[in-house]
A and B are shown apart, each in its own frame.
Chain A
Amino acid sequence: MTGGSLLEVPLLEVRGLTKRFGGLVAVKNIGFAIEAGEILGLIGPNGSGKSTVMKLIMGIIRPNAGSVRLAGEDVSGWPSHRIARRGVGIVFQHSRPLHRQTVLENIKLALLPDSLIRLFADPEVDGRARAIAERVGLDRVVDRRPATLPFADLRRLELAKAIARDPRVVLVDEPFAGLTSAEVETFSDLIRGFRAEGRAVLLVDHNVKSVAALVDRVLAMYLGERIAEGSAEAVMRDETVRRVYLGGSIETASRPETAFADAVPLLQVEALSVLYGKAQALDHVSIHVHEGEFVSVVGLNGAGKTTLFNAISGLVPYSGGIRWGGARLDGITPAAIARGGIVHCPESRELFGDMTVRENLDLGGQHQTKIERAERLQWLFDLFPILQSRQSQTAGTLSGGEQQMLAIARALMMKPRLLILDEPTLGLAPVILEQLSKALERLRRTTPITVLLGEQNVTFALPHADRVYVLEHSRIVWEGDPGRFAKEAGAGYL
């Protein structure tokens, strides 16, 4: 490689990258280039394939087609550790430091050569590790063990390990997840430092807004494909991006809160906080749902929607209060909560893949009498006709949309008083969304059901909602009528 060509060849160049998992195309013909001293933002909602792209570059998984070039050298198909040695560093979102070693030792680990005969580290390693610790702001805790550190410091440690490798290309997964705004500032400065040093940086995140101040360019993905590329402003203005995140024009049909007669709301969540290890997943969240009401909680992935629903269903420990019909829910098992009428249809669907559609539905109806069950089944087949024709097919062989319908139908078999729907649109094609949307609309018009819907797709969440909460970084930041959403909260959502 000659010095002249180095200037022309981008540091990282990805071409025609494609990855299939079974029948699912997770990444489809993605290509981009990052120059030295440039930051590219790779954004997309959950399931868009952005994390897969990162793993493909790092060599953690192998691509089906396409190439990854580092300063002109094709590294696609190489094992991870060789790609790392060629100068690619990664900052994982979830850190797993060595718990029995100090912070300094953890940084030193990243400075070690890949050698079997170095029984003693070079003397300068200690000095370099300390310098890196100081750069990321860990200098005062170098002798502590990771278990005693606050969350932000654990993220700093991950950053320190990446710096220690002195990579030419840095991949950062969700750089700001779980951080306070002050911490976001320091982390942004650290990442700008990478750019100033002439490294190529790839930031992977859910939305443009969180990385807009940092990136030189943005590439937006949806369902494995590139949908837009350009400056942060241009991507935020892009029609396709807006449609993916916000949807088109939305007609709402909300009923005022006063229309619901119950004096005490059916579900009251008061000052709910959840910690995952050291990360604050929910911070004093309060919401309520009236009997018969349709409430949507919108927020990006990672905002805390799933955690909120898991807490209500008793699946994660929390502080604060959750009341159901006035009675506290803490100490009650998840199964008892479900039998009590709060039925949760999770993002992951949790179907019984090897059992038939009918068996899945029957299991949902096991708490009912035989006659009730038969009536319920008939009604559901009416709501989702496709399920009737698929009755004897195993759930695992259904398409994504059909699986989602089955998950909702199975939840409805339990005769819920409150149906919690978490991210039902995840990874589904627009035409399926329309079918689901129609079914929800019918549900709302023809039954007195109470629904709590969590969505990142605003187009899907707003039309049926009576009331909307916006969840951002573990907190409720807006509450109101869906008609006011676009004006008051929509801008901050992209």
Chain B
Amino acid sequence: MVGLPSSSRKSRSLEPAIVRAMLGLQILIDGFAISALYALGATGFTLIFGVSGVLNLSHGAIMVAAAVAAWALAGNPLFGTYLGALLGVGVGVVVAFATYFIVVRPIQRSRAIAEVEKEIFILTGTLLWGIMIQEAIAYLYTSNPKTVRPLVDGVIGIAGVRTPINELVTAAICWSVIGLLWLLVNRTRAGKVLLAASINPRGVTLLGFELSSVYLLVWAIYGVLAGIAGVLLAMFLGVSSDGIGPLTASAFSIVVLGGLGSVSGSLAAAYVVGYIETITAYMISPAYRTIPVLLLLVLVVYLRPQGLLGRR
């Protein structure tokens, strides 16, 4: 999983109570931003699963591909930060489509693979595809961590806690995008069809909608979401091709924790995970930050396999 923002914000010699209060506030702010990023990343992942039943294990690779593209382009004076970020998201969409057309769809349509085995084939196939992307990135741009210049520089104080403006911008963008997605799904015709397809694909076909177009739409949306999440991650914490596996794993955990296919569940779970990690990192040690979440995951999967908010 990702590390904490590196800027150290330790207060000097204040009263212990105030220190505790400020630490609490800091956890609140940092956790909020990290969780928002997790939520955005996991939303696309869960959307694909909800609509087409695909667990895409190249998720982290797509995010990092978008981030590295943004990093490479933003460094070029021809593009600059903003256009570079935008094009990075575009690369995310392109890679998402490539995943669908090269790996997922051929397996879904294959006659040589039995229906019951398609799930494991898609899992293995997307995993291999993710490794290919990872290796390609490492080959072309090395596996060193890359940080994209934030959209907005500067630091502000929130009740005494110095917070980079970028952290707030990141959270704001994440929530705006999630809000737009909500509007798209609940307020537009195409979105309604998408929602309907996630509930009952056969019903959608019977009403005269082509499922193949629905899938294209959902992969496009997924590409945009993963792209934005990747680029923002690169601005906030930095990315590297070595971080692809943990990124996929964290999206997978969040989605399972929230209930496979449930978008609201994923949003809630993203916050649970984001805050547990932040609290662990601040209160215990950054080295232990992922452990409580993993334990929680095991517990939830044992006791409530449909996830916190999943429907069965």
Which A residues have a C-beta under 8 Å from some C-beta of B? 313, 315, 333-336, 338-339, 343-346, 348, 350-355, 359, 362-364, 366-367, 410-411, 414
Q: Lowest 5 A-B CB distances belong to which pairs?
A: A350-B203, A338-B208, A339-B208, A352-B199, A335-B210
Given contacts A333-B210, A338-B206, contact A353 B189 (CB under 8 A): no
| Inter-subunit contact A350/B202 (CB<8 Å) | yes
B196 contacts partner chain A, Cβ-Cβ < 8 Å: yes
| Inter-subunit contact A366/B207 (CB<8 Å) | yes
- A354 contacts across to B, CB distance below 8 A: 199, 311
Given contacts A313-B206, A352-B196, A362-B192, 5 further A-B contacts (CB under 8 A): A339-B208, A350-B203, A355-B196, A367-B208, A411-B206
- A359 contacts across to B, CB distance below 8 A: 192, 196
| Inter-subunit contact B207/A410 (CB<8 Å) | yes
| Inter-subunit contact B200/A364 (CB<8 Å) | no
B91 contacts partner chain A, Cβ-Cβ < 8 Å: no
| Complex: A419 Cα to B210 Cα, angstroms | 19
| Complex: A343 Cα to B196 Cα, angstroms | 17
| Complex: A364 Cα to B207 Cα, angstroms | 6
| Complex: A343 Cα to B311 Cα, angstroms | 30
Query: How far, in Å, is A355 (CB) from chain B's closest CB?
Result: 7
**Residue in B closest to A396 when the chains form the complex, CB atoms:** B199
| Inter-subunit contact B208/A414 (CB<8 Å) | yes
**Residue in B closest to A350 when the chains form the complex, CB atoms:** B203
B211 contacts partner chain A, Cβ-Cβ < 8 Å: yes
B76 contacts partner chain A, Cβ-Cβ < 8 Å: no
- A343 contacts across to B, CB distance below 8 A: 206, 208
**Residue in A closest to B203 when the chains form the complex, CB atoms:** A350
Partner of B200 from the list A335, A339, A351, A366 (CB cut-off 8 Å) is A351
| Inter-subunit contact A351/B203 (CB<8 Å) | yes
| Inter-subunit contact B209/A335 (CB<8 Å) | yes
Query: How far, in Å, is B150 (CB) from chain A's closest CB?
Result: 39
| Inter-subunit contact B211/A335 (CB<8 Å) | yes
Query: How far, in Å, is A309 (CB) from chain B's closest CB?
Result: 11
- A334 contacts across to B, CB distance below 8 A: 205-206
**Residue in A closest to B190 when the chains form the complex, CB atoms:** A366
Query: How far, in Å, is A411 (CB) from chain B's closest CB?
Result: 8
Partner of B205 from the list A335, A362, A364, A366 (CB cut-off 8 Å) is A335
- B192 contacts across to A, CB distance below 8 A: 359, 362-363, 366
Partner of B189 from the list A335, A339, A366, A414 (CB cut-off 8 Å) is A366
| Inter-subunit contact B208/A350 (CB<8 Å) | no
| Inter-subunit contact B200/A353 (CB<8 Å) | yes
Give the size category of B's interface with A.
Answer: 10 to 19
| Complex: A343 Cα to B189 Cα, angstroms | 20
| Inter-subunit contact A355/B209 (CB<8 Å) | no
Query: How far, in Å, is A41 (CB) from chain B's closest CB?
Result: 34
- A351 contacts across to B, CB distance below 8 A: 200, 203
- B200 contacts across to A, CB distance below 8 A: 350-353
Query: How far, in Å, is B295 (CB) from chain A's closest CB?
Result: 31
B308 contacts partner chain A, Cβ-Cβ < 8 Å: no
| Complex: A334 Cα to B207 Cα, angstroms | 9
Question: For chain B residues 267-312, which have a beta carbon within 8 Å of chain A?
Answer: 311
Give 28 pairs: A residue, B residue, CB < 8 Å, sorted on A.
A333-B210, A334-B206, A335-B209, A335-B211, A336-B208, A336-B210, A338-B207, A339-B208, A343-B208, A345-B206, A346-B202, A350-B203, A350-B206, A353-B200, A354-B199, A354-B311, A359-B192, A362-B192, A363-B192, A363-B193, A363-B196, A363-B204, A363-B207, A366-B193, A366-B207, A411-B206, A414-B207, A414-B208
Question: For chain B residues 192-228, which have a beta carbon within 8 Å of chain A?
Answer: 192-193, 195-196, 199-200, 202-211
Query: How far, in Å, is A98 (CB) from chain B's closest CB?
Result: 14
| Complex: A313 Cα to B205 Cα, angstroms | 10
Query: How far, in Å, is A113 (CB) from chain B's closest CB?
Result: 28
Query: How far, in Å, is B202 (CB) from chain A's closest CB?
Result: 5
| Complex: A318 Cα to B205 Cα, angstroms | 19
Given contacts A363-B192, A366-B189, contact A355 B199 (CB under 8 A): yes
- A335 contacts across to B, CB distance below 8 A: 205, 208-211
| Complex: A142 Cα to B207 Cα, angstroms | 48
**Residue in B closest to A334 when the chains form the complex, CB atoms:** B205
| Complex: A352 Cα to B50 Cα, angstroms | 14
| Inter-subunit contact A346/B193 (CB<8 Å) | no
| Complex: A366 Cα to B190 Cα, angstroms | 10
**Residue in A closest to B186 when the chains form the complex, CB atoms:** A359
| Inter-subunit contact B203/A352 (CB<8 Å) | yes
Partner of A353 from the list B199, B204, B205, B206 (CB cut-off 8 Å) is B199
**Residue in B closest to A339 when the chains form the complex, CB atoms:** B208
**Residue in A closest to B195 when the chains form the complex, CB atoms:** A355
| Complex: A355 Cα to B192 Cα, angstroms | 9
Query: How far, in Å, is B51 (CB) from chain A's closest CB?
Result: 13
**Residue in B closest to A362 when the chains form the complex, CB atoms:** B192
**Residue in A closest to B311 when the chains form the complex, CB atoms:** A354
- B205 contacts across to A, CB distance below 8 A: 315, 334-335, 338
| Inter-subunit contact B196/A346 (CB<8 Å) | no
**Residue in B closest to A366 when the chains form the complex, CB atoms:** B189
Question: For chain B residues 234-267, which have a beta carbon within 8 Å of chain A?
Answer: none
Query: How far, in Å, is B212 (CB) from chain A's closest CB?
Result: 8
